[in-house]
Structure 1
Amino acid sequence: MADRDVPPADRAGPGGDTPADGGGQPLSTRRERTGWYFYDWANSAFSTTVVTVFLGPYLTVIAKAGAGCDSDDPCRGRTIDLLGFDIAPGSLFPYMVSLSVFLTVFVLPVVGAIADRSPYKKELLAVFAYLGSAATVAMVFLTGDRYLLGAGLFLLANIAFGASIVVYYSFLPQLAGPDERDGVSSVGWAIGYLGGGTLLALNVVAVLFKDSLGLDTGQVARYSIVSAGLWWAAFTTIPLLRLRNRPPAAGAAQGSPLIDGFRQLWHTLRSLKAYPLTLFFLIAYLVYNDGIQTVIALAAVYGTEELQLSDDVLVPTILMVQFLAFFGALGMGWLAKRIGAWKTVLISLVLWTVVLVIAYQLPAGQALPFIALGGGIGLVLGGSQALSRSLFSQLIPKGKEGEYFGLYEISDKGTSWLGPLLFGVAYGATESYRVAIISLLAFFVIGFVLLLAVPIRRAIVAAGNTPPRLL
């Protein structure tokens, strides 16, 4: 349906107003925005059920089997072979998270450059979403001591996940104007946590009733991972039906889109020197988001290995975090409307620092302190990510959304690499998950200082965009 044919009632955005382009036409319809929200609903199952909850502990058990020790054995002093390197079984998952991001450094900016020059952005979203979901479903074969299979499938799924997110994010400036973007981003992120939480709730039922279902803990974990791939694939159909392709703002590709994508990536990296404040914000984001993503990805490992908590405590707690993050994202979106997104993100980083200090001091074997900390994480989690996304969208020169979000996504949604690398090295050196978790404090402190130093309004103007009223 063309924009001029959309009835007025269908043009309302989250706040009742739909931003218009320069000719007075609405940027998007309510139906299209709803479709865009649903990709957050679809892909959050992977980041929640797979990355945050089940794959880390499950792959660690598989790796321990590969090292020749029992799943309950701390496996001290034993190693597994990974591409010629001997590593501790407990370091496999964080190293795989780190390696996947190292590889995405070369993939995601090129994907973004291609998306900016392709009139088939929806089709690009479909390719990466279905590739990632297929790799996730294939983890049904992750049994015994097949830790290399699990490592390879996770690498493929996580890279495809990141590539799909780059394409997905590049729709945001096409759907909402400067003053509405914080709200649209916050709603999308909130719906994502609700979607991820809904599937996790079903998996919690399976965990709690595994004996009645005739399943052991490993089988429940494996089938839960597979369910996330099926969920991801099924709900991706909604945005594919509702989003519409637009003529590329950056102009059509000259020749092969892939070759043009690599060529434009080089131009993008060179052009960053013309937008030093955008680069400064991106560096600040990469630092503090590394900390956030590492906490998300490795919370389950910390809870099981260091705090000695069972899945009966861990999984419902992370489920609670998902639903609290829904309200937290909306709440921080509300706060951003009153004091500005930049100030709200700074407040969230202070709260993240407090979270880590408390996590370091949590007593082992006690569920209530862990559950209380999970509540705090839920309230601060969604808003810091959603508002960072909308803030960065204000700093991108028009027509370069995909390629800049490619750089952005390198450290987003469970694909950070410095944090997991530091976590894995700290654990490998000390065999203490407490030392590993407190080492992440540096990311939030340094990230706060860097973000505080960004003159955000001047940065938006320098990128050629109109700043929102409050920052």
Structure 2
Amino acid sequence: MGHRSTRGQVVVVAVTDAAGGTAERRREQRGWYFYDWANSVFSTSVLTVFLGPYLTEIAKSAADADGFVHPLGIPVRAGSYFAYTVSVSVLLSVLVMPLAGAVADRTGRKKPILGGFAYLGAGATAGMFFLDGERYLLGGALLVVANVSFAVAVVVYNAFLPQIAGPEERDAVSSRGWAFGYAAGALVLVANLALFLRHEALGVSEGSAVRICLASAGMWWAVFTVIPLVRLRERPGAVQGARVSVLSGWRQLGSTLRELRRYRLTMAFLLAYLVYNDGVQTVITQASVFGSEELGLDQTTLIAAVLLVQVLAVAGALLMGRLARRFGAQRTILGSLVAWTATVGGGYFLPAGAPVSFFALAAGIGLVLGGSQALSRSLFSQLVPEGKEAEFFSLYEVSDRGTSWLGPLVFGVAYQLTESYRTAIISLVIFFVLGFVLLWRVPVGQAAAAAGNPSPDRI
């Protein structure tokens, strides 16, 4: 997928795989799916369901008479603490992800970087078991470490996609990966719901049940990360025998940023993705806070709603993968953004204390969530030059799952100014509308050709 003659190199690799390496490639793809299976539980159980409301309550218990906590001496309304912490974690991710991507591409040592950050994130998530009382600072610190690690590991994970799947199968492979992730999220949420509903019968307090669910997500992440680490294989780096160092990583990053100016259409797609996916990620991380604080729904209802999202997201990812084969990935994503706009806009009008309406909102989110993310990933892979996969995906990951920063910041500021989560949720519509306009203006065929790749058959 290089800028000039590298597309022919990929064709040679594809032919070689088809002749004698198809079984090995399928084995790698199945192993690759399992990292989605491993880490999606962090996105679901931790970021989407449990940590937001739980950390908000801990911050409220530590707040002063005016409802503010003071991390590092900065006055922050307790209800905004979780959203701001997510934003801080992503700003740090912006610094770390491109560096890790540059090192991965330069050396070809993707698996050690994937494994190192996956286990750092899993360890921080398991450490949330000790989050109780007024330890909002501990909760914030663990969230930052876990979310930064999550982001960096996903950069390297996504960079494997162009190496294990040809252009014609990436939409399907990417969609299956997302489906695996949402299936795992649903499975673990069923176990979480069983524990939460029966915590009294099991002799466990509600807070302890939440902490067990948080820690179990870290353990799940750690255990299933073994499978991709065993099945994926390394490819040679851009510099044979290159040594891993921070200095060489920053130098390579500087080279990548200068080179990125040659791929202006790829940059245009990244801008569109940055905007609309900020909205997607903010809905994921803040929906449970909206449901609990604004609509007055209990934790059981929230878990059931997120479980509904997970189940429908599996079907939605596979369905939108099929739609992409017929209509093209770009058109399918644009359609999903229209659905996102209608769904989030409808959230503003949901009545308090009405779980059925909240379930309807969850169903709308689930049907478009997995597909819009999966197709964005596979579409971007068509716009990346060969040998730069991890570096370019590091830029892509700035606003990917659970690592959006502008959306949570807007959400938090909207609440801080109005003390209304309805205003905060409706503020997210602009991300989907603007993202639609920016994506619609990207000539995907030209962008693929500029990166040295063939234009997709359907756009």
Give yes or no for TM over 0.5.
yes
Aligned in 2, Cα 1:22/1:184: closer, same or farther, shift over 3 Å?
Answer: closer
Distance 1:214 1:346 in 2: 49
Partner amino acid for 1:175?
I
Partner SS, residue 17 of structure 2: coil
State yes or no: 1:296 paired with 2:295. no
Contact 2:14 2:166 in 1 (8 A): no
Farther-moved stretch of structure 1 (445-454 vs 268-277): 268-277
Q: 1:25 is matched with which residue?
A: 17
Q: Give yes or no for the alignment of 1:137 onto 2:126.
A: yes
- 8 Å contact kept, 1:284–1:451: yes
CA distance in 1, matches of 2:304, 2:100: 36
Runs of 4+ off more than 6 Å: none
State the 1:23 CA deviation: 5.2
CA contact (8 A) 2:83 2:409 kept: yes
For 2:29 and 2:110, the matched residues in 1 are separated by: 15
Q: What SS does structure 2 have at the residue aligned with 1:410?
A: helix
After superposition, what is the alpha-carbon deviation per residue over 1:207-260, rounded to whole angstroms, capped at 9, x for unaligned? 221221122322211110000000000000111111111112x23364544322
| Partner SS, residue 456 of structure 2 | coil
User: Where does structure 1 lack aligned partners over 5 or more consecutive residues?
Assistant: 1-17, 70-76
Q: Determine which structure has the larger helix proportion and give its number.
A: 2
Partner of 2:261, secondary structure, is helix
Tell me the residue number matched to 2:400: 412
The equivalent position to 2:113 in structure 1, one of 116, 124, 130, is: 124
Give the SS at the match of 1:160.
Answer: helix
Task: Give the counterpart of 1:271 among 242, 254, 259.
Answer: 259
Report the Cα offset of residue 309 of structure 1: 0.2
Counterpart residue identity of residue 325, structure 1: A
What does residue 48 of structure 2 align with?
52
SS at match of 1:210: coil
Work out whether residues 103 and 244 of structure 2, in 8 Å CA contact, stay in contact via their aligned partners in 1: no
* Residue in structure 1 matched with residue 318 of structure 2 by the alignment: 330
* CA RMSD between the two structures: 1.4
Partners of 2:64 and 2:214 lie apart in 1 by: 24
- Which of 176, 186, 195 is the equivalent residue of 2:165? 176
Q: From 57, 61, 66, give the equivalent of 2:57.
A: 61
Structure 1 residue 287 corresponds to structure 2 residue 275 = yes
Partner of 1:89: 78
Are the aligned partners of 1:189 and 1:326 in contact in 2 as well (CA < 8 Å)?
A: yes
Residue type of the alignment partner of 1:286: L
Quote how far apart the aligned CAs of 1:458 are.
Answer: 0.6
Match of 2:4 in 1: none
Unaligned stretches of 5+ residues in structure 2 = 1-9
Counterpart for residue 6 of structure 1: none
Separation in 1 of the partners of 2:397 and 2:190?
A: 27
Corresponding residue for residue 209 of structure 2: 220
The alignment partner of 1:356 has SS state of: helix
One-letter amino acid of the counterpart of residue 48, structure 1:
T
Q: Deviations over 1:291-323 (max 9, x none)?
A: 000000000000000000001211011011101
Q: Hey, what's the Cα distance between the residues in 2 that align with 1:369 and 1:128?
A: 39
Query: Quick one: percent identity of the two aligned structures?
Result: 56
Q: How many residues align?
A: 446
SS in 1 for 2:168: coil
Q: TM-score, normalised by structure 2?
A: 0.95
Who is 1:230 aligned against?
219
CA contact (8 A) 1:108 1:163 kept: yes
Distance in 1 between residues matched to 2:241 and 2:454, nearest whole Å: 28
Q: Does the CA contact (< 8 Å) of 2:17 and 2:25 recur in 1?
A: no
- Partner in structure 1 of residue 247 of structure 2: 259
Q: CA deviation at 1:120?
A: 2.4
In structure 2, how many angstroms separate the alpha carbons of the residues matched to 1:390 and 1:19? 18
How far does the alpha carbon of each residue in 1:134-164 deviate from its partner, in whole angstroms, 9 at most, with x for none?
0011111111001000000110000000010
2:163 and 2:397 map into 1 onto residues whose CA distance is 18
Q: Which residue of 1 aligns with 2:389?
A: 401
Please tell me whether the aligned partners of residues 19 and 180 of structure 1 are also in contact (alpha carbons under 8 angstroms): no
Quick one: distance in 2 between partners of 1:235 and 1:454?
37
In the alignment, is the contact (CA less than 8 A) between 1:20 and 1:177 conserved in 2?
no
Residues 389-433 of structure 1, C-alpha deviation per residue, up to 9 Å, x if partnerless? 001111111100000000111110010000000000000000000
Distance 2:253 2:410 in 1: 28
Residues 253 and 305 (structure 1), Cα distance of their counterparts in 2 relative to 1, 3 Å cut:
farther
| CA shift for structure 1 position 22 | 5.5
Q: For residue 443 of structure 1, what is the aligned residue in structure 2? A: 431
Does 1:155 pair with 2:147?
no
3-state SS of 1:470 partner: coil
Question: What is the CA–CA distance in structure 2 between the aligned matches of 1:270 and 1:119, rounded to whole Å?
Answer: 21
The residue type equivalent to 2:53 in the other structure is P
Which residue among 81, 93, 107 is the counterpart of 1:104? Answer: 93
Q: Label 1:54 to 1:24 Cα distance change in 2 as closer, same or farther (>3 A).
A: same
* Partner amino acid, structure 2, of 1:21: V
- Decide whether aligned partners of structure 1 residues 256 and 414 sit closer, same or farther in structure 2, where only a CA change above 3 A counts: closer
CA contact (8 A) 1:118 1:257 kept: no
Q: Aligned partners of 2:300, 2:110: CA distance in 1, in Å?
A: 42
Matches of 1:303 and 1:252 in 2, distance apart? 52
Contact kept, 8 Å, 2:107 with 2:242, in 1: the verdict is: no
Is the contact made by 2:107 and 2:244 (CA closer than 8 Å) also made in structure 1? no
Q: Deviations over 1:78-106 (max 9, x none)?
A: 21001120110110100011011111111
Kept after mapping to 2: 8 A contact 1:117/1:253: no
Matched residue of 2:70: which SS?
Answer: strand
Amino acid at match of 1:111: A
Contact 1:304 1:310 (8 Å CA) reproduced: yes
Q: Which residue of structure 1 lines up, in the alignment, with residue 3 of structure 2?
A: none
Deviation of residue 25 (structure 1)? 2.7
Deviations 1:363-395 (A, max 9, x none): 000110101111111111000000000011111
- For residue 241 of structure 1, what is the amino acid of its counterpart? V
Supply the distance in 2 between the matched residues of 1:253 and 1:284 (Cα, whole angstroms): 37
Q: Structure 1-normalised TM-score?
A: 0.93
Equivalent residue for 2:32? Answer: 36
Distance 2:352 2:333 in 1: 31
Alignment CA distance shift 1:328-1:22 (3 Å):
closer
